[in-house]
Structure 1
Amino acid sequence: MMRFEEISVVIQGPVQSYQGRPQEEGITHKCIASIRQFLPGATVILSTWEGQDCTGLEPDLLLLNQDPGGTIAAYGADGTPGKLNFNRQLVSSAAGLRAVKTPYAVKIRSDNYLTGNGFVAAQQAFPERNSQDVLFAERVVVNTSYFRKYADGKRLVMLPSDFFHFGRTEDLLKIWDIPLFPDLEYDPAKAGQAQFYGAPMTPPHAEQMYCNAWLGELDKRAPRLAYRHHATAQMREYWDRFIASNFVVLEPAQIGLGLIQRFIPKKKRPNEISYLDWELLYKQYCDPQYPASRLKLFTTIGWRRMVKLPFSYLKFTLTKGK
């Protein structure tokens, strides 16, 4: 049985509204208090930014990182650069994880919090792995929220949620301690048209860009993502096999993960992977005797996908055609 003293929790991100990202007042205080409650004895590391007001916050270690700034990821038709927080998340996450001295670590956003500790036992609860697909020393627990299986009615790959990770510290470093993203260079030859990664196809989601980078560092066999919906049969199989042997994908309630209101849907999103989806992958690629149920998947979210996804695809097609 893992002891909580073997775990460090890296809280990353701003602790107040910052660079266009609104922050719920007091949410990081709530995050730290929840860790003390549900993981007593764990080390708490807050990795935030220089200039942030950390009054009243009492982590075991406070890291004030230099802001790398937004990363230019696109240019509008008029040449205006569009920036995303790629490197901000990398810097705060990697700095915190490099400071970890325990064998296990949690990476959590500064605007999330714990409601339990079910993720600790779950990380060790699925022992079977397919040796040819193993890239992590042990499984990493990942949250289903914003772990997209579909977008615009089409299947996706390489879009795991970045809200919460728990596993061996060495494995979390494989995900977050990667080279920073360079700014996209403006191409004068394409003046007058939008420029972005994947153009003229739909650009990848930010989570896909992260995953494409760290997975490529881990495995030279990993497919290279060209645009958001780039998902051949071979790519889908590779991603499914990776998920089955390297992740444990849990719903927030199973993890014991609290989300702020804007991240809580009224119903489970049909475009997100579910724990039941992951169980079926585990059965298919790791443990044929595991009692996963396709019927249970269909009667919960499967039938909703059959209804929702065609409309999402139609909407995407019509909108893209304008």
Structure 2
Amino acid sequence: MVIEFKDISVVVQGPVQAYHGRAQETGITHKCLQSIREHLPGATIILSTWAGQNCEGLEPDLLLLNEDPGPTISSYDAQGKPGYLNFNRQLVSSAAGLREVKTPYAVKLRSDNFLTSSDFVRAQQAYPQRCLADSLFQERVVVNTSYFRRYCDGQKVVMLPSDFFHFGRTMDLLAIWDIPLFKDLPFDEERRGHPQHRGAPNTCPHAEQIYCNTWLQQLSADVPYLEHRHHATPEMLEYWDRFMASNFVVLEPQQIGLGLIDRFIPRSKRPNEISHLDWLLFYKKYCDSSYPASNVELFYSIGWRRLLKMPLSHLKHRLKQGK
């Protein structure tokens, strides 16, 4: 099946100018919208941002000025000082935009990213085999490898996909982003003097893990609560690999046609991130045993660096934790 650009809406979400705690490259949202017009002619553009943002010169097909929910208290240090994350800001702007989509397919794109091609449209249909028992989405969702972590602190982790870019069926993207807003973490007076966060005293999950665990639990009753960042039993690791194999297409930014601002571009591929070659091996193992994915190619591209760096990262983490 060929997906036509007119059947795609692009939800550009987030701020269009800098605000406290969030730097923004000047003119990046203008560049983002122009890139969509260039590479997806005929697609609908929905800009979902905040009331009070200066949107002069931006010309989306639909502009949503959402009420800013503000940051969410997600932790307290030993002195009781709160720590904040933008959980609800991303949820509000993403979900509000996706709810307005009228086309069968949608893209969720950060307002500080842009497109360099439309290659992701073809890639979404390029891996037709799926394991029915593992398929929770109607169709595959294309995701980006940047900040999609396979390892944290030298240990394999689960449920940590990148939130930069999603492309797939609109209903599948809504399943990811239209989830309940997070409440501020209440302060526990009995734990004063100790850090407080999800999973304490273990390391708190990354924000992307908390998002992912939430929407996965809404899709399936079999998904366990992720207790902390490194909560990854053998069963959970296999579940996550199987889920990725049948529900995602994991691509490098250049394979998607995703442009990143300078601060997101590493000098070389980060060994703790998943790679497209990793994902191809999952696809071969769980979906299509005839697919020509290669462990040798993975080793020579990034596997050897993992063998060197992951044990050192794990040791550094253990020393930091005093274990």
The interval holding the TM-score normalised by the smaller chain is: over 0.9
Aligned pairs (5 A) from 1:82-121: 82-121=83-122
C-alpha distance in structure 2 between counterparts of 1:260 and 1:95, whole Å: 25
Partner of 2:75: 74
Aligned residue for 2:55, secondary structure, equals: coil
Aligned partner letter, 1:311: L
Structure 2 residue runs without a partner (length 5+)? none
How far is the alpha carbon of 1:19 from its aligned partner? 3.0
Give CA-to-partner distance per residue, 1:194-222, whole Å, 9 cap, x none: 11000000000000000010000000001
Name 1:227's counterpart in structure 2.
228
- Report the equivalent of 1:189: 190
1:33 Cα deviation from its structure 2 partner: 0.3
Corresponding residue for 2:294?
293
Name 1:146's counterpart in structure 2.
Answer: 147
Deviation track 1:42-96 (CA, whole Å, cap 9, x = no partner) reads 0000000000000100000000000111111001111111110000000000000
Cα separation, 2, equivalents of 1:102 and 1:96: 12
Structure 1 position 18, deviation (Å):
1.6
Structure 2 match to 1:56:
57
Deviation string 1:205-253 (CA, Å, 9 cap, x unpaired) is: 0000000100000000012210000000000000000000000000000
Question: How far apart, CA to CA, are the structure 2 residues paired with 1:270 and 1:252?
Answer: 15
Structure 2 distance, partners of 1:224, 1:283, is 28
Q: Give the CA RMSD over aligned residues.
A: 0.7
Percent identity, aligned pairs only, is: 69
TM-score (norm 1): 0.99
List aligned pairs for 1:107-186, cutoff 5 A: 107-186=108-187
Name the counterpart of 1:39.
40
User: For 1:72-131, what per-residue CA distance to the aligned partner results, in whole angstroms no more than 9, with x for missing partners?
Assistant: 100111111111000000000000000000000000000000000110000001010000
- SS of 1:93's equivalent in the other structure is helix
* Equivalent residue pairs, number: 322
CA distance in 2, matches of 1:124, 1:3: 12
Q: Secondary structure at the match of 1:162?
A: coil
- Say which SS state the counterpart of residue 15 (structure 2) adopts: coil
Distance (whole Å) between structure 2 residues aligned to residue 3 and residue 126 of structure 1: 18
Scaled by the length of structure 2, what TM-score is found? 0.99
Over 4 Å off, 4+ runs:
none
Deviation readout 1:134-192 (Å, 9 max, x if unpaired):
10000000000000000100000000000000000000000000000111111111111
Gap runs ≥5 in structure 1: none
Measured in 1, the distance between the counterparts of 2:250 and 2:117 equals: 16
Matched, 1:21 2:22: yes
Q: Aligned letter for 2:69?
A: P
Take 2:300 and 2:317, find their aligned partners in 1: how far apart are those partners? 26
Distance 1:224 1:275 in 2: 27
Deviation digits for residues 10-67 of structure 1, max 9, x if unmatched?
0000000023100000000000000000000000000000000001000000000001
- Alpha-carbon distance, 1:315 to partner: 1.1
Code of the aligned partner of 1:298: F
Task: State the AA in 1 paired with 2:88.
Answer: N
